[in-house]
Every structure is written in structure tokens, then in C-alpha cells.
Amino acid sequence: MALLEVRNVTSGYGDLQILWGASLDLEEGRLTTLVGANGSGKTTLLRTIVGQIKPWDGQVIFQGKDVSKLPSYTKADMGLIMVPEGRQLFTDMTVQENLEMGATPKRARAHMKQNLEKVFDIFPRLKERADQKAGTMSGGEQQMLAVARGIMSEPTVLMIDELSLGLAPVLTLDLFMSLRRLIKEGITILLVEQNVRMALKVSDYAYVFQEGKVEMHGPSKEIENNEEVRRAYLGI
């Protein structure tokens, strides 16, 4: 049984349907990526999984339990955490204060000190800037902070929306390498990413998303090496 199962989910905004029977399985201890064109519904799927949007139909099953209708704060307490596109940091607060805000789920509060040490070990640059206001840091440093704040929530599943958006290639590579370390730390990751080449190289398994549903899936290396898939769906 997969750690997270999405079964034939439909959802959208108001009367606008975005997801049309989306399904995927997230295996424990694996970095899974969701790739596809802008506007294909990838972010909507993440928001539906974490409870920011309620599914119209279908199921979200986490650790064997149907969590489809649960609010986002309850899912966060269970270990379903999302790092949103655009970082959404508290820019007038320091790095450390932002990290401490990440420890709001009940499961994370008791381990805040240990998780802070883990975050500073993974991202030493954040330790150097612990007292600096988040809004004064570079885009790459802010993205590190956004991921680190997610780790502070003590996730079982960490969903990251557009890790590399607007970042220089060197910083992008550093961040992608940090994801492999998080997998070794026992965090299962679902990554939505526009940098398809990098996402396929760093991930274990991939889903190709188009028009609100999964068109195909398989080991990332197979997807990367399939010329027809690359040409038809990925633009690479």
C-alpha cells in the first residue's frame, strides 16, 4: 500500500473544473515528481491533497485513512505539508522566527529544537543568517528558508511547488541536492517542477500531468529517455 494515494480526484475553483480524475501513488521513501505544462493543474492537485481545496469527487488516502474532506490544519498535524509556490514567507520576521512558525503542527512543537538543528545542518547558510529578516535575503536563500520551514513542520510527506522558480542554476542545483538528503532523513517528497530535466534527474519516479489528469507515469529515467513522451508532453 502506498503512503499517499490519490484516486480519481476532481476539483477546481468555483464552477471551473481543473482536475479531471487525477490519480497517483506516493511510495514511502521516494522522491516523486509531477511534471507538465503550465496550467495543467499540478498546483491544484497539491492544494487538493493538503486540503486547501476540497475535492469534488474521488479520494485522498494517507497512511490507509481517507483524508479527503479533512481541513488543511488537520492534515498538517498528520504530516502532510506543502511548500507553496512563491515561498510565502513572513518577510519582516527573521529567519529563525520564520522557522519557528513552521513548527506549529502539534507533532512538531515538542521537537522544535532538534528540527532546528537538522535544518541548520542541511542549510548552513540559514544558520549564518538566523537573525536576518527574511525579506532581505536573496531569492535562493528565501527558497531554502521556505523548504526549511516545511521541514520544521516534521512532515511525513513534503510537497514542494516550483522549487527552482526564478533561481540561478547554481542555487537550483544546491536545492535539488538537498532533496536527496531529505529522502535519506526519512521524508517522502512530491515535487512539482518546471525544470523538467532536473526534476527527472533527481527524482525516483515521475508522473506526466496534462489537462488535469495523469497521462503516464513510470521510473524517472524511463520517462526521461522516452523520446515520444519528451516531445509530446515535456517539451524537452
Confidence of residue 174 (pLDDT cuts 50, 70, 90): confident
The DSSP symbol for 41 reads S
User: For residue 195, what pLDDT is reported?
Assistant: 87
Closest-CA residue to 189 (of 160, 214, 163): 160
Assign a CATH topology to domain 4-234. Answer: Rossmann fold (3.40.50)
Q: Which tens digit of pLDDT belongs to each residue from 92-141?
A: 999 999 999 999 998 899 899 999 999 999 999 999 999 999 999 988 89
User: For residue 232, what pLDDT is reported?
Assistant: 66
C-alpha cell at 176: 535539488
pTM of the predicted model as reported, rounded to 2 decimal places = 0.92
The C-alpha atoms of residue 185 and residue 123 are separated, in whole angstroms, by 14
pLDDT for 230 beyond 90: no
Q: Which residues contact 214 (CB under 8 A, 6 or more apart)?
A: 22, 23, 24, 207, 208
Pairing relationship of beta strands 188-192 and 80-83 according to DSSP bridges: unpaired
The C-alpha atoms of residue 216 and residue 13 are separated, in whole angstroms, by 25
Closest-CA residue to 116 (of 139, 133, 95, 141): 95
Side by side, which strands form the sheet with 213-219? 80-83, 157-161, 188-192, 31-35, 205-210, 213-219
Q: Which tens digit of pLDDT belongs to each residue from 198-225?
A: 899 999 999 999 999 999 999 999 999 9
H or E element, residue 182: helix 169-184
The C-alpha atoms of residue 4 and residue 28 are separated, in whole angstroms, by 8
